[in-house]
């Protein structure tokens, strides 16, 4: 599928932002006053900035508020509701730390749970889609959650937790790629099922449906060469997971800590680009694309 920059920014930054809010809600790090303000400011800039960037991919951004109305059936609406709830609860929790030097533990736990719920809802927006077999697998929410918690631990300065979640997220990433590469073939979807003509006999394309491009081809049929895919996967693994771990194993330095965060964000951005670019939508079968 066509990897829209706004969606890549959204899934990368908001995931890390809500991951940081999760750790802050649990009391990591234990900060008050201006230090607490700094951590919450970073978390809100990432989380809210990512959410705002996602609206630029909408055909009618002015109608974004309507996304909240379908929470009973839509994971997108559930994401929006959970995000607003998480941000409001964590704002109250953060206000206690900043202005009253007080930690309202229960409120923090609720905010942490809501922050995780936001990331899970984001993952399920993609993980529910039968039309994209690469996404519709149990590891999709596991991948986004593990990356969120790993990035949040990095930003929160929780080295011990980061050294656990970064390798875990890296392993999940590789497993997700391995399963995803076979997902379309294993789904049983082909030209016959895509067109609904399988009952009529063997189905083949007599000629291309279009002589030129159209909206479906632009948005849902994006082909990435295997050579480029392999390079980007290596970039994602090295910068997103391996290098941050190596930097954290060096005796602590603020410079190395910042480099670890920057490296992680760059690697996850590459991973997110592949998340969309390698996603084979079944509509591509209609156009003879794999």
- pTM of model > 0.75: yes
Q: Which residues contact 132 (CB under 8 A, 6 or more apart)?
A: 1, 126, 279, 280, 281, 282
DSSP state at residue 240 = I
Answer yes or no: are the C-beta atoms of 112 and 165 closer than 8 Å: no
Q: Which residues contact 105 (CB under 8 A, 6 or more apart)?
A: 27
What are the structure tokens assigned to 70, written together? 């379908």
- In the numeric block, the tokens 């400011």 are attached to 41
Cα–Cα distance for residue pair 268/238, rounded to 1 Å: 10
pLDDT at 269: 96
Cα–Cα distance for residue pair 117/103, rounded to 1 Å: 22
Determine phi and psi for 114, rounding to 5 degrees.
-65, -35
Q: Residue 79 sits in a domain of what CATH number?
A: 1.20.1630.10
Spatial CA neighbour of 12 closest among 47, 57, 59? 47
Please, what is the end-to-end C-alpha distance for the chain in angstroms? Answer: 11
Q: Which residues contact 33 (CB under 8 A, 6 or more apart)?
A: 97, 98, 101
DSSP state at residue 128 = T
Answer yes or no: are the C-beta atoms of 115 and 82 closer than 8 Å: no
pLDDT by residue, tens only, the chain of 290 residues: 778 888 898 889 999 999 999 999 999 999 999 999 999 999 999 999 988 887 776 666 666 677 778 888 999 999 999 999 999 999 999 999 999 999 999 999 999 999 999 999 999 999 999 989 999 999 999 999 999 999 999 999 999 999 999 999 999 999 999 999 999 888 888 777 767 777 788 877 777 667 677 767 777 777 776 678 999 999 999 999 999 999 999 998 889 999 999 999 999 999 999 999 998 888 887 776 65
Within 10 angstroms of residue 279's Cβ, the number of other Cβ atoms is 24
Q: How many domains does the chain have?
A: 1
Range of the domain at 22: 5-286
Within 10 angstroms of residue 3's Cβ, the number of other Cβ atoms is 16
Alpha helix (H) ranges present in the chain? 5-9, 15-25, 33-54, 75-99, 105-127, 139-155, 159-186, 191-195, 215-220, 226-237, 243-249, 254-277, 283-286
Q: What is the largest CA-CA distance in the chain?
A: 73
What are the structure tokens assigned to 49, written together? 């900035």
């Amino acid at each position: 599928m066509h990897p829209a920059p706004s969606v890549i920014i959204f899934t990368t930054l908001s995931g890390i932002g809500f991951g940081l809010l999760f750790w802050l809600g649990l009391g990591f790090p234990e900060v008050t006053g201006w230090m607490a303000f700094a951590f919450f400011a970073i978390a809100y800039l990432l989380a809210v900035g990512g959410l705002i960037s996602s609206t630029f991919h909408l055909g009618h951004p002015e109608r974004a508020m309507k996304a909240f109305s379908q929470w009973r059936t839509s994971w997108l609406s559930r994401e929006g509701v959970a995000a607003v709830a998480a941000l409001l609860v964590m704002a109250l929790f953060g206000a206690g730390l900043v202005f009253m030097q007080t930690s309202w533990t229960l409120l923090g736990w609720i905010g942490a749970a809501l922050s995780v719920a936001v990331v899970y809802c984001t993952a399920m927006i993609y993980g529910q889609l039968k039309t994209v077999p690469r996404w519709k697998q149990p590891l999709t929410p596991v991948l986004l959650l593990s990356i969120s918690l790993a990035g949040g631990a990095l930003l929160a300065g929780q080295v011990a937790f980061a050294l656990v979640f970064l390798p875990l997220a890296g392993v999940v990433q590789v497993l997700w790629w391995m399963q995803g590469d076979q997902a379309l073939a294993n789904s049983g979807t082909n030209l016959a099922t895509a067109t609904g003509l399988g009952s009529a006999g063997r189905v083949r394309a007599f000629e291309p449906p279009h002589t030129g491009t159209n909206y479906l081809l632009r948005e849902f049929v994006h082909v990435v060469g295997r050579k480029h895919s392999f390079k980007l996967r290596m970039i994602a693994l090295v910068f997103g997971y391996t290098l941050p771990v190596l930097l954290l194993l060096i005796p602590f330095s603020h410079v190395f800590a910042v480099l670890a965060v920057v490296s992680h964000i760059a690697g996850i951005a590459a991973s997110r680009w592949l998340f969309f670019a390698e996603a084979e939508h079944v509509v591509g079968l209609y156009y003879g694309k794999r």
